[in-house]
Structure 1
């Protein structure tokens, strides 16, 4: 499976521990604030805000926290003004890494991200060096044990999905941004349980990783990047087989 969904699934599984540290809530609040600032305080008329609110609810964020973040973003309450930046670079084995940053201090963010890359066998690149390798898509990931391939294909394609990919122990449904909610709702209506549903950056090509040491280095780098407060999302194009992941889990 490619890095965007593989890493997302790993991150999702460790999310409970992150939530206890406040990491997830902090990042979700920042996204809600920026979405409200850019597109207005009404989730019904602001797709980015609607997606951010849904993500916050999925992590059981209290309603008052969500409403306060919207008010801060829209200017009804005083709040921090976050800047959006993309940073790009390479990890071990030449893996391409794309970072979405929300920060109140560009210089601090750049310095810290560069340090994380250098400490973990990677290097930060110039703007545009890897962004062209990724496309923004919706992805919905199912464990093969929880779904029938035939039903999955039928529901996905009828709802407007672009592709259904066989990824070892999982199926990965890929959608356009416009069709993501419709496809997700189609699965919800059928009671089909998925492991992950998110808007993400899907790599056009992947780098196969065949040894445990390199895999561990890549995951350590990704974990360090995700753990940084200014990094909202970290995307990569590695392809680590399940047997290697299971061996180092």
Structure 2
């Protein structure tokens, strides 16, 4: 088990090295999320995500995200879903948006899960239609919102997890690692560039049969609205609730 855990850690660490070497800026944040899930029937469920993302020792807003979705899960392998995301981006650094601005996006998603021994694997494919506030220079206040820009984006996340040890007869602490690639697409849905890359390594701790807590390290390499490359180091916490 020790060798397998080392491989997971190397997978996460190596994914951040190239981004950190080429970054124009480095930044530290705290991302916290709450994800309630409600079963609607045997094969349908509804889920929502609430993300509070702050920086400067939690004193400054970085991003607020709300993401409801409806899922169809016919078996243990396939999960098909559609959803909506509201994203509030804040002006918090010289590489962020120059003024607070919003994004609304609609997305379609396919997730595939399978198990090999003690390892659980998940492949998540998401296609986003993004409506982003258009920020222009303004003589009065420096910047202003003028209409909306439309863009397409494709995301692929590969996740590996496995149990580490038991804390009770029916509860196990697990280690989780994922890498997610964000590709900007043109009008013909051809990839234009690498928009972001996310790497995460953390622990999942069951608190009750329907509540789990996550704690981990999250690294993001992204191209900001000012066309500079940012390496972001994140302490990530999460709470998942199933009703």
Instruction: Sort the TM-score into its range (normalised by shorter chain).
Output: under 0.3
Higher gyration radius (CA)? 2
Which has the higher relative contact order, 1 or 2, with Cα contacts under 8 A spaced 6 or more apart? 1
> TM-score, normalised to structure 2's length?
0.24
Query: Going by fraction, where is strand more abundant, 1 or 2?
Result: 2
Query: Going by fraction, where is helix more abundant, 1 or 2?
Result: 1
